[in-house]
Structure 1
Amino acid sequence: MSLKTQITDDMKAAMRAKESGKLATIRLIIAEIKRREVDERIELDDVQTVAVVEKMIKQRKDSITQFEAGGRQDLADIEKAELAVLSSYMPAGLSDEEIAAEVQAAVAASGAAGPQDMGKVMGILKPKLAGRADMTAVSAQVKKALAGA
Structure 2
Amino acid sequence: MDLFERVSEDIKTAMKAKDKVALDTLRNIKKVFLEAKTAPGANDTLSDADAIKIVQKLTKQGKDAAEIYVQQGRQDLADAELAQVKVMEVYLPKQMTPEELEAALKEIIAETGAAGAKDMGKVMGVASKKLAGLAEGRVISAKVKELLG
Calculate the aligned-residue CA RMSD, in Å. Answer: 1.3
Task: Report the counterpart of residue 107 of structure 2 in structure 1.
Answer: 105
1:47 & 1:9 partners in 2: Cα distance? 19
2:122 & 2:34 partners in 1: Cα distance? 32
Gaps (5+ residues) in structure 1?
A: none
2:140 & 2:77 partners in 1: Cα distance? 30
1:21 aligns with 2:21: yes
1:83 & 1:90 partners in 2: Cα distance? 11
Q: Deviations over 1:19-59 (max 9, x none)?
A: 12111100111111122222243222111111111111111
Q: Deviations over 1:86-116 (max 9, x none)?
A: 1111111111111011101111111112212
Shift of 1:15: 1.6
Aligned to 1:39, the other structure's residue is in SS state coil
Could you tell me which of 52, 74, 86 is aligned with 1:72?
74
Aligned to 2:39, the other structure's residue is in SS state helix
Spell out structure 1 runs of 4+ moving beyond 4 A: none
Could you tell me which of 122, 125, 148 is aligned with 1:120?
122
Task: Report the counterpart of residue 33 of structure 1 in structure 2.
Answer: 33
**Count of aligned positions:** 147
Gaps (5+ residues) in structure 2?
A: none
Aligned to 2:119, the other structure's residue is in SS state helix
TM-score by length of 1: 0.92
Paired letter, 1:75: L
Could you tell me which of 22, 47, 50 is aligned with 1:48?
50
1:23 & 1:122 partners in 2: Cα distance? 37
Identity %: 39
Residue 116 and residue 37 in structure 1: after superposition, are their counterparts in 2 closer, same or farther (change >3 A)? farther
Which stretch shifts more, 87-96 or 35-44? Answer: 35-44
Paired letter, 1:20: K
- 1:52-63 equivalences in 2 (<5 Å): 52-63=54-65
1:13 & 1:80 partners in 2: Cα distance? 21
